[in-house]
Structure 1
Amino acid sequence: MKFGIRDEEFIRGKVPMTKAEIRAMVMVQADIQPGDTVADIGAGTGSISIEAALAASKGDVYSIERNPEGIQLIRENAEKFGCSNIHPIKGVAPDAMDGLPPLDVIIIGGSSGNMHEILNRAETLLSKGGRIVLTAVTAETTGEIVKEFEGRPFRLEGFQMQINRLRKLGHYHLYNPLSPVFIFTAEKI
């Protein structure tokens, strides 16, 4: 399956959206299988939820987002891409995670300052071999993630991505840098 749907394909508003290149790498790290059950926490416009739903074609994706505009965009994008297996949940994690079924993959793009509690809940929802993929753009969040996984039954890996997009300027081509993003993957052991 090809990941990294073009950004322009999504219905967008003022809600943040993970860029295509980062989304593609998140999906590679998530390793979603057709029958998986996935939670996308801090789902924004639903761009990652869409990619996850396409990968989990026989599974389900629960998109948790606190912003009402985001919930509407998730619904609109799910309809546009024909993803009837997306279930938008308006709320803030971890409370919005109440009632979720056992999960195979959890993708965390935003924690609203509740990282510790979200990971506590994630630990109980994931079975052995389940994966958490987290993205972070601030130094504070990266440090928090590393610290939060100390002593938990997970194998944590991470790396930073820096994307520069080519653009034409007159007769020349320049690279426009996007903000660097840290991607962490934690597998439950």
Structure 2
Amino acid sequence: MSGPRPGAAHPDTPQPSDPQPSAPVTVVGVGADGWGGLSGAARAALLGAGVVIGGPRQLALLPADCRAERVPWPSPLRPAVPGLLAAYAPRGLVVLASGDPMFHGIGRALAAEAGPGRLRVLPHPSSVSYACARLGWPVEDTATVSLVGRPAARLAAALHHGRRLLVLSAGAGTPAEVAALLTERGFGPSTLHLLEQLGGVRERHVTATAAYWREPPGEPLNVLAVECRRAPGALRLGAVPGLPDDAYEHDGQLTKRQVRAVVLAALAPAPGELLWDVGAGAGSVGIEWMRTHPACAAVAVERDPERAGRALRNAERLGVPGLRVVTGAAPDALAGLPAPDAVFVGGGLTVPGVFDACWAALPPGGRLVANAVTLESEAALAGHRARHGGELVRLAVSHAVPVGGFTGWRAAMPVTQWSVTKPPQEPAV
């Protein structure tokens, strides 16, 4: 999946339509405590509304003296938003949402569609606030991962020993799915807290370890809190690039750990940026680019179908299932891809047209990093540097290995790396 372009809307963000109705829209957050938990301003807005839109569960929380027409959200929800706003906003529209509408809620779509100036948002405490209050966890020190409409595999990138996580569940089956994932990823000793119907009369708190989770599916409205504990002997994965080579399934076509760390440092990922990983092999560079921030995205281009499959499996296992893998040979496979913010060429640099296609796709300020291990590809790097500038670095890595009863150094093939930033305007050649 490709990532958002700098300055552009995130791919999940609805785009405003034109023309827009001008009537204001009030958005009211409601919790499991229903009408009794609403502020005076929120109750007044609902009592004075002509139309209230919300999910069936939220609409059922309204009292009989709220006489507005009640309209349930259709499915799919997002495409219906412009028409619903146009039809009902002039009649005094209030939208009901769970908790804080601007935290993984409908408020984002409404702000993008109607414009934030037309919204009056009356938030309720979010499930995150409730969960941290119940557990005594500081909100600012607690990471949150949403699995609503997203694969559970993305949780793997957030797993670190001693870390506290809150998981926004997709439904009643999420706790068991998370427990199984934690156990499979080596975090079976982690403590899970299942928090259901937070703030309501049916609030419930269940605690068990991931490896021994036996709780049957319960309330669909739940949050899962995780106290991460890595099992003895489980592979430790850090938060910075340069994961152990053993973290990857590969056939030897892998940018090795030390070189990979240098590559990612030169690529300099920033939140929201998109990488092309050309000649991706096991997908390690694109995967570690995406692990630097949840908003980073990457496209891995690999001509060998078996290696492309490995890259997908590696991405799933390492917590970035959104990695887009394109099976095909560059430069032809690059056609039609979204423009990148950075490009890594790990293989195929001597193939005619590969560099030209990558360079042409980069915007001004975009970065390109290329590795070479043969004399021919080194010569190509030197030629590109002569035309476009940048920096050439020779990377030499040696490992200590047994030599009889002693220890000696075994050198890996040296890697020549070229890194360059595309200037605002290409100089005349």
Q: Is residue 9 of structure 2 the alignment partner of residue 9 of structure 1?
A: no
TM-score computed with the length of structure 2 as normaliser: 0.41
SS of the equivalent of 1:26 reads helix
Aligned to 1:173: 407
SS of the equivalent of 1:22 reads helix
Question: Partners of 2:365 and 2:293 in 1: how far apart?
Answer: 17
Q: AA paired with 2:323?
A: I
TM-score computed with the length of structure 1 as normaliser: 0.90
Query: In the alignment, which of 346, 358, 364 is matched to residue 109 of structure 1?
Result: 346
Q: Compute the displacement of 1:34 (Å).
A: 1.9
Q: Is residue 384 of structure 2 the alignment partner of residue 148 of structure 1?
A: yes
Aligned to 1:55: 292
Q: Where do 1:4-153 residues align within 5 Å?
A: 4-12=242-250, 14-111=251-348, 113-114=350-351, 116-151=352-387
SS of the equivalent of 2:310 reads helix
Q: Compute the displacement of 1:140 (Å).
A: 1.2
SS of the equivalent of 2:259 reads helix
Instruction: Specify every segment of 5 or more residues in structure 1 that has no aligned partner in the other structure, as ranges.
Output: none
SS of the equivalent of 2:390 reads strand
Distance 1:2 1:112, change over 3 A: closer
Distance 1:170 1:113, change over 3 A: closer
CA offsets per residue over residues 43-72 of structure 1, 9 Å max, x none? 001111211111253021000000111111
Question: Partners of 1:33 and 1:112 in 2: how far apart?
Answer: 25
Q: Compute the displacement of 1:168 (Å).
A: 4.6
Q: AA paired with 2:410?
A: N
CA-based RMSD:
1.7
Q: Compute the displacement of 1:111 (Å).
A: 1.2
Q: AA paired with 1:159?
A: V
Does the 8 Å CA contact 1:137/1:181 hold for their aligned counterparts?
Answer: yes
Figure out how many residues of one structure are paired with residues of the other and give that number: 185
CA offsets per residue over residues 22-46 of structure 1, 9 Å max, x none? 0000011111112110000000011
Does the 8 Å CA contact 2:385/2:391 hold for their aligned counterparts?
Answer: no
Does the 8 Å CA contact 1:36/1:56 hold for their aligned counterparts?
Answer: no
Q: AA paired with 2:390?
A: L
Question: Partners of 1:17 and 1:147 in 2: how far apart?
Answer: 25
Question: Partners of 1:176 and 1:78 in 2: how far apart?
Answer: 31
Aligned to 2:85: none
Query: In the alignment, which of 158, 162, 171 is matched to residue 396 of structure 2?
Result: 162
Q: AA paired with 1:135?
A: N
CA offsets per residue over residues 91-119 of structure 1, 9 Å max, x none? 011111111112110000111742x4122
SS of the equivalent of 1:127 reads coil
Distance 1:74 1:126, change over 3 A: same
Higher relative contact order (CA 8 A, sep 6+): 1
Q: AA paired with 2:416?
A: F
Residue identity over aligned pairs, in percent, reads 27
SS of the equivalent of 1:165 reads strand
